[in-house]
Structure 1
Amino acid sequence: MIDDTKILIVDDEVGILELLEITLRKEHFSHITTVSTKADALQALSEQDFDIILLDVMLPDGEGFSLCTEIRLHTTTPILFISARSSDFDKLTGLSVGGDDYITKPFNTLEVIARIRAILRRQRDYEGRDLETEPNIFSYDTFAFSPGEALLTVKGNVVEVTAKELELLHFFCKHPNHVFTVPQIYESVWGEEAFGVEKTVTIHIAKLRKKLNDHTGQPKIIVNLRGIGYKFIPPTGDFL
């Protein structure tokens, strides 16, 4: 069965592009676009929509981090960084600028495929959820979130959020006042077994807090219970 997923791969190494394309086609992904520069990536994105983007950090005409920032101005398409830069700082930077996941080179092609399928599965599960079983909108004193429209407004202003941030917010809104460990959050939102993922979850929560205006020294909406996990506390009039 041919998968109709549209994938954009951005990498300046011809060997990596060929390896990923061959591997993906063996897994029945047929709509694959490969480019090797930031400029070509932006051109491809202006011509069509993609379901997932595989993005290198080091490109001949700019960093993948800056490209990710530009992409996030226009779309919430999931972005998977694949890079030789393997420091914690690089990984955290990739996630903080809007990446959904980060894999380091050299990589196992089976792991890449597994990550892609997990991201796509979560995306499709989110888009295909049964809207009749949940509110059309989660409305609180400081923000409102409409899952059906993938729309977040904070104090009446529309706020841009990534696909993963939407999923994370949706998860919290569906489970108010419940405490979840980091592994529980990761497995529920990312759809993968949790192993060494604390920084990934922490970065996404920090980004979400900032967009909810909950990023002060003492967050009141997404609260960290040290040594236990996180709890979403729906904001009331006391938060204003």
Structure 2
Amino acid sequence: MKILVVDDDKEIAQLLEIYIKNEGYTPLAAYNGEDALSMMRTNSDIGLIILDIMMPGMSGIDVISEIRKDSQVPVIFLSAKTEDMDKIQGLSSGADDYVTKPFNPLEMMARIHSLLRRSSNNVTKSAPDIIDIDGLQINKESHEVTTESGNKIQLTAIEFGILHLLASHPNRVFSADEIFERVWKQESIISAKTVMVHMSHLRDKIEEATDGKDIIQTVWGVGYKVEG
């Protein structure tokens, strides 16, 4: 699998390339947004992107906006901005995770493994695990969500993980912390904010595809659920 590192700081990019290669992946590097998009067009097998936010020319926000037009490849933002609002803005733009500089390369690799598990390790050799919730068919094997009219809803790996978790346990309320620990498989001090951002994107996509159906319910002060 190829992992694309996009950062105008060549030392950071080269450091990440070393760790990525040591983990058995094939690293690619781009030092600006334009080259990153060009690599995306010529390498259809890129499985994950590490994307710096603050770059000359196209920013990371600009790059992910272009990527999300036709791809749900997992993206980890890398940024020197450490405030919660900066992280929320980054996640709101379509990123799956957010790592601040300076960072521990081992932590970065752990986050990469977590995201790749979410996006590729749900395939089984048994019959497809299909859940039907209020007209939505959620297929764990193919990672597809289909409406009653046959339209597919394009979800990121994290968004699919959240929906599948809730749909697998109808009527059970999950707190934001529980959702984060089960879907991201890690702990974080900003888990509630992170889940809130991804939940908002997930709801918007479902409502747009189903003419406004409110599939995911908020239980105020407790968490989220879907009704069976």
TM-score tier (shorter): 0.7 to 0.9
- Helix, strand or coil at the partner of 1:179: coil
Aligned match of 1:59: 55
Distance in 1 (alpha carbons) for counterparts of 2:190 and 2:161: 20
**8 A contact 1:72–1:162 mirrored in 2:** no
Distance in 2 (alpha carbons) for counterparts of 1:220 and 1:23: 43
| Alignment match of 2:91 (pick from 83, 91, 95) | 95
Cα offset for 1:189? 1.0
1:199 aligns to 2:196 (yes or no):
no
What letter is aligned with 2:105?
A: T
Deviations 1:57-104 (A, max 9, x none): 012221111211211122211101111122222211211121110001
Cα offset for 1:221? 2.5
Distance in 1 (alpha carbons) for counterparts of 2:83 and 2:188: 20
Give the 4+ runs in structure 1 shifted more than 6 A: none
Query: Structure 1 regions of 5+ residues with no counterpart?
Result: 235-240
Taking structure 1 as the reference length, the TM-score comes to: 0.83
Taking structure 2 as the reference length, the TM-score comes to: 0.87
Among the aligned pairs, what percent are the same residue? 37
Aligned match of 1:6: 2
**8 A contact 2:207–2:214 mirrored in 1:** no
| Alignment match of 1:225 (pick from 196, 219, 222) | 219
- Helix, strand or coil at the partner of 1:207: helix
| Alignment match of 2:168 (pick from 166, 174, 180) | 174
Cα offset for 1:154? 4.6
Aligned match of 2:144: 151
1:47 aligns to 2:49 (yes or no):
no
Distance in 1 (alpha carbons) for counterparts of 2:176 and 2:126: 26
The number of residues matched between the two structures is 222
Distance in 2 (alpha carbons) for counterparts of 1:120 and 1:80: 11
**8 A contact 2:203–2:214 mirrored in 1:** no
1:21 aligns to 2:14 (yes or no):
no
RMSD: 2.2
Distance in 2 (alpha carbons) for counterparts of 1:189 and 1:86: 23
What letter is aligned with 2:190?
A: G
Aligned match of 1:237: none
What letter is aligned with 1:138?
A: D
Deviations 1:145-179 (A, max 9, x none): 33444333456344332221112112122111111
